[in-house]
Amino acid sequence: MTDASPSQLRLPTPGCFADPDRSGLTADGVFDGMTEHLFYTLGKLAPTASHHDLYVALSYAVRDRLMTRYLAGIEAISATPTRVVAYLSAEFLIGPQLGNNLLMLGIQDEASEALRRFGIDSLEEILEVEEEPGLGNGGLGRLAACYLESLASLEIPATGYGIRYEFGIFDQLIRDGWQVEITDKWLKSGWPWELPRPDQACFVGFGGRTESYRDSEGDYRVRWIPSEHAIGVPHDVPVLGYRVNTCDRLRLWQAEASESFDFYAFNIGDYYGAVEEKVGSETLSKVLYPNDGTDEGRRLRLKQQHFFVSCSLQDMLRSLELRDLPISDFPDHWSVQLNDTHPAIAVAELMRLLIDHKHLSWDAAWDITTRSLAYTNHTLLPEALEKWGLDLFGSLLPRHLELIFEINRRFLQSVRLKYPGNDAMLRSVSIIDETNGKAVRMAHLATVASHHVNGVAALHSELVRTQLFPEFAALWPEKFTNVTNGVTPRRWIALANPLLRELLDEVIGQDWVCNLDELRRLEAFQNDSAFLERWGETKLAVKRQLAHYIHRQSGLLVDPSSLFDVQVKRIHEYKRQHLNALQVIAQYLRIKNGLGDDLAPRTVIFGGKAAPGYYMAKLIIRFINGIAETVNADPDMDGRLRVVFLADYNVTLGQRVYPASDLSEQISTAGLEASGTGNMKFAMNGALTIGTLDGANVEIREQVGAENFFLFGHTTDGIEAVRAQGYRPWELIASIPELPEVLQLVEQGHFSNGDTELFKPLLENLTGRDPYYVMADFSDYMRAQQAVSQTWGDRTTWNRMSLLNTARTGFFSSDRSIRDYAERIWQAEPFPVTISCEIDEP
């Protein structure tokens, strides 16, 4: 290679986004980028580089290519202001980033070729090195991640705002059948995908007092004088859209102390006191969802919520100031979505910032707030609708409590005018709960201040209107709407299921990745026996991969040709993993009693975490593992039944499980699951659903066809009728076939090594109150499971049903969900980014 003379050099101008050395998407470009980062960033030579070194080098090389698009987008919005979606969420379960970003750039093959030059035969070897970011727990956080990806893929400018949790929730181990929580040290080796922005830090206050004064104009004002402060330092994560230039961002706030070291305390021997403020402040971003079973835990949760919401709103207001845009235009530039009640403090905080800092009038501030905020409700469960006692709230956020009192006073006055003399109505809608100790009802606060309130499935949204907030719906019927959840097909098919992706690309082309309705073209093959056989073979190949993983992790051999019957989700009584466990025992008994000839050979797979303080959920995990230990050790079950509990279920494991599943267990008590998104991922990958009419199951059944869905159980109205009649589960048991023998076997300690006390609390719960109607639905569940076995015996029919499930799930793309939000709630438009660069000629 010859040196170019100065007159031959073509140098990019400052601010150029097309640096060929950092934006090339060829194998050579990726290899050169890796080599550069190994040497200059990591200080390593290729011959001594570990797999982790190669992962980091490849990640930095890929991030370089994201920066081209990321910075171009920031400049474009600065030059031509447009409305940006701000998605506030306590969780963003984004999953591993390297494989996803390679897919988005379209350079998976190029990355594989670059790695081969380093002696790595498989890209998978390097992808397995990546730690999963501990930024979320379950469906709420995964939904937020899917939505950010779809926003970018649809070229809608957006920023996700959350917390940079140092330790996430926890890693799950199973010891002696019990869940054991260990620290999730996901940041221990660094994280190449984030960009710290200490120059954009924000100050956040807590505690203290308020005082009134008159400003220079003689107007009455209030100032908040906090007793403690924390600093929020933003860390930006680029979120690239699929094969577009739009690269949005996830901005995560890390808490730091305003003064991290007290020299005076240290010098007088108070060594803990010297760093006490640092420890206290940084606790804010240590752990996702601290246990709220203690006063300190509840206090920390509220502090976390205010911390990230305040930082985020300050950041939005600052963005207007930097562009010389008036504060009154805030709703034209930011559409703020509250993902559940965790960020609902945004109502009071935005009012505080506008009134106390920007010195707007109450009416002007309220107009901006109510035009900017929208609220998504995710649950009907009372314990998830956050309420904060006034003592706690007032001690942490005294100014916010004053503002909430005033918001409530004005709101209740408007209600009195519409419903004079109706005190019951006032008590029901008041933001302040006057019963059982006064408390701030955060869902009420969000509902009063938001221009739209949406549920996340058709049934759920109807229940929000008719059961959860009927009085609010009567006041503002136009405010309530539905946006059914969706999931991104890029991660959950294209990335997670490459074998299915290859088949789809071959028979219907590649457009389905961006337009999931294209999957409908698969229906043309529903009567093609050769294609149906190929469909089944593709599924079997994926199941072999999961079977290999199970053997590698647990030593248990499972038969890939058996029915993979899967329930993976957060462990909770209303999700009814214990109902599934009871049917496994019933099948076990049928086989033991010589009555199992018509049963499909099954591998029943469970996975999920229980909240550390939720004893019954942890006992259900122990119950499942007790059944697995007994079943898997019984020679009579060989080739007939296996039970697996996959520990530490997360996005990475989900990418293995969803594509390999035959049967999707969506068996929650009707009326309690808001939507679910796992049900959608299963169906997209060709799993058939056995489920109740709950959450998005209703719409999945409508889309895929009732004949391709195994329905069972009481409906929401049916559950209510059973409750109204006085539900007595102990009276049902004797009349339900197989159930008495199942319960007796548990009671005798058959699945607990003879310990008759271990599962007694679970049995007493089921046969006593049975709050989630497990006994009421058991018989019909067993009927549906028998239909599953019969259908499995006709593999052509099963493959056709599987094909049609995939073909008819286009509605459940998160792209459709985001279009619904953008058109009906946010009024946000696509803003395509063009990357160009002028070259100076010397």
Query: Quick check: 519 and 809 in contact, CB under 8 A?
Result: yes
Query: Quick check: 589 and 745 in contact, CB under 8 A?
Result: yes
> Closest by alpha carbon to 546, among 605, 625, 601, 489?
605
User: Which residue out of 569, 578, 602, 642 is catalytically annotated?
Assistant: 569
Q: Would the CA dihedral through 816, 90, 480, 706 be positive or negative?
A: positive
575 in catalytic set = yes
Distance between CA 750 and CA 626 in Å, rounded? 9
User: Which residue out of 452, 479, 681, 714 is catalytically annotated?
Assistant: 681
Can you tell me whether residue 685 is helix, strand or coil?
Answer: coil
CA distances to 17, 33, 62, 104 from 27, in Å = 20, 10, 12, 16
Complete DSSP assignment for 44-84: --GGG--HHHHHHHHHHHHHHHHHHHHHHHHHHHHHS---E
Query: Quick check: 416 and 470 in contact, CB under 8 A?
Result: no
Which amino acid makes up residue 322? L
User: Which residue out of 379, 677, 692, 716 is catalytically annotated?
Assistant: 677
Q: Are strands 202-206 and 228-240 parallel, antiparallel or unpaired?
A: antiparallel
CA dihedral 109, 114, 119, 124 (to 10 degrees): -40
Query: Quick check: 416 and 241 in contact, CB under 8 A?
Result: no
286 in catalytic set = no
Burial label for 89, CB within 10 Å (0-12, 13-18, 19+), is: buried
Q: Would the CA dihedral through 728, 734, 738, 742 be positive or negative?
A: positive
Residues 6+ apart with CB under 8 A from 749: 755, 756, 758
Give the phi and the psi of residue 81 in degrees, each rounded to 5. Answer: -55, 135
378 in catalytic set = yes
Q: Are strands 228-240 and 195-196 parallel, antiparallel or unpaired?
A: antiparallel
User: Which residue out of 333, 342, 399, 575 is catalytically annotated?
Assistant: 575
Q: Would the CA dihedral through 450, 455, 458, 459 be positive or negative?
A: negative
> Closest by alpha carbon to 93, among 172, 226, 186?
186
570 in catalytic set = yes
Hey, what are 693's tokens? 């009419």
Distance between CA 812 and CA 826 in Å, rounded? 20
Can you tell me whether residue 253 is helix, strand or coil?
Answer: strand
> Closest by alpha carbon to 62, among 119, 95, 110?
110
Hey, what are 420's tokens? 């004079």
Hey, what are 44's tokens? 């390593």
Q: Count, in order, helices (H) and strands (E) of the chain.
A: 34, 25
Distance between CA 70 and CA 17 in Å, rounded? 9
CA dihedral 335, 339, 341, 345 (to 10 degrees): -40
CB atoms closer than 10 angstroms to residue 764: 11
User: Which residue out of 378, 460, 501, 572 is catalytically annotated?
Assistant: 378
Hey, what are 318's tokens? 């600052």
Residues 6+ apart with CB under 8 A from 592: 634, 636
Query: Quick check: 207 and 226 in contact, CB under 8 A?
Result: yes
What kind and span of H or E run contains 663?
strand 663-666
> Closest by alpha carbon to 193, among 251, 120, 107?
251
Give the phi and the psi of residue 225 in degrees, each rounded to 5. Answer: -115, 90
Query: Quick check: 468 and 797 in contact, CB under 8 A?
Result: no
358 in catalytic set = no
> Closest by alpha carbon to 584, among 569, 572, 567?
567
User: Which residue out of 570, 602, 622, 642 is catalytically annotated?
Assistant: 570
Residue 691, phi-psi category: left (phi > 0), alpha (psi -120 to 50), beta (remainder): beta
Residues marked active site are found at: 378, 569-570, 575, 677, 681
